[in-house]
Amino acid sequence: MEIVDTHTHLYLDQFDHDFDDTVRRSIDNNITKFVFPSISSKYYNKMIQCKKKYPKNIFLMLGLHPVYVDKNYLQELNFVEKNINTNNFVAVGEIGLDKYWSKEFYKQQIQAFEIQIDLAIKNKLPVIIHCRDAYEETIDILEKKNNKNLRGIFHCFTGSLRDAQRIINMGFSLGIGGVVTFKNGKIDQFLNKISLENIVLETDSPYLAPVPYRGKRNESSYIIHIVEKLSEIYDLNVDRIIEQTSLNSHKIFNFDSQ
């Protein structure tokens, strides 16, 4: 039964020395689809090269990450707009708001977020949301947009049950990764109140490795530890978790049309 890693940065420098081995390890463990989020144009060519190596396994997003919003953000947004209709991108992402690292360009983050949401709606693509210390503002912006074509994933969900319910009410899914295995992660305390139909799996590799690899480089093959934790939380067998989350991922990204 195939597993989809809906959010993995295997194109980053941390994988330069063993990219093929990392992909092979994952495929050997039935993780057969990897969705690569974009963070800035800097990694564009590298992402394309990765996809050319594994065209049936790797799917790409295009977007400007909020942490990469700086004085050149309009140039970056122009790059996204110009290239969104090339290379079969499956989503606009990762986009959103981040007040954790810096608030210097926060107004520009909001503008970049709104422009990219509109671009996704226009192209009927899902949006993959990065949200850190800004759940209220991020959800408010999406609720105001209120468009039938606006859908996607709140990647690396770490919000409250109330945040989760607002997100699901908008037709979005929650990306669940390594945090669900952390003792202080908190989301494991209420996740069973959320229907499994609203959840997708992700690793966010090389970040946020699940227990027992916490603190080490994360990779897509570790997603099985997230599956096992969800199996425990939902009191369902592993196959059921995999089946439903993979179905959810296919609905969002429409892999079959690629």
Between CA 156 and CA 173 the distance in angstroms is 11
Residue 42: Cβ within 10 Å count: 10
pLDDT for 132: 95
Between CA 79 and CA 116 the distance in angstroms is 11
Phi, psi of 90, deg, nearest 5: -95, -5
> In the predicted model, what is the mean pLDDT of residues 88-108?
95
Residue carrying the six token digits 């983050």: 109
Strands (E), 99-210: 127-132, 152-154, 172-176, 199-201
Computed on alpha carbons and rounded to an integer, the radius of gyration of the chain in Å comes to 17
Mean pLDDT of the chain: 97
Phi, psi of 63, deg, nearest 5: 175, 175
Residue 22: Cβ within 10 Å count: 21
Q: Above 80 in pLDDT, residue 257?
A: no
pLDDT band at 258 (very low <50, low <70, confident <90, very high): low
What total number of domains does the chain contain?
Answer: 1
As separate numbers, helices (DSSP H) first and strands (DSSP E) second, the chain gives: 8, 8
Q: Above 80 in pLDDT, residue 25?
A: yes
pLDDT digits (tens, 9 = 90+) for 137-180: 999 999 999 899 999 999 999 999 999 999 999 999 999 999 99
Strands (E), 86-205: 91-98, 127-132, 152-154, 172-176, 199-201
Q: Considering Cα of 26, then 253, then 39, then 182, what sign does the dihedral take?
A: negative
Name the residue range of residue 238's domain: 3-257
pLDDT for 146: 84
CATH of residue 26's domain is: 3.20.20.140
pLDDT digits (tens, 9 = 90+) for 197-256: 999 999 999 999 999 999 999 999 999 999 999 999 999 999 999 999 999 999 999 998
Between CA 165 and CA 32 the distance in angstroms is 30
pLDDT digits (tens, 9 = 90+) for 105-120: 999 999 999 999 999 9
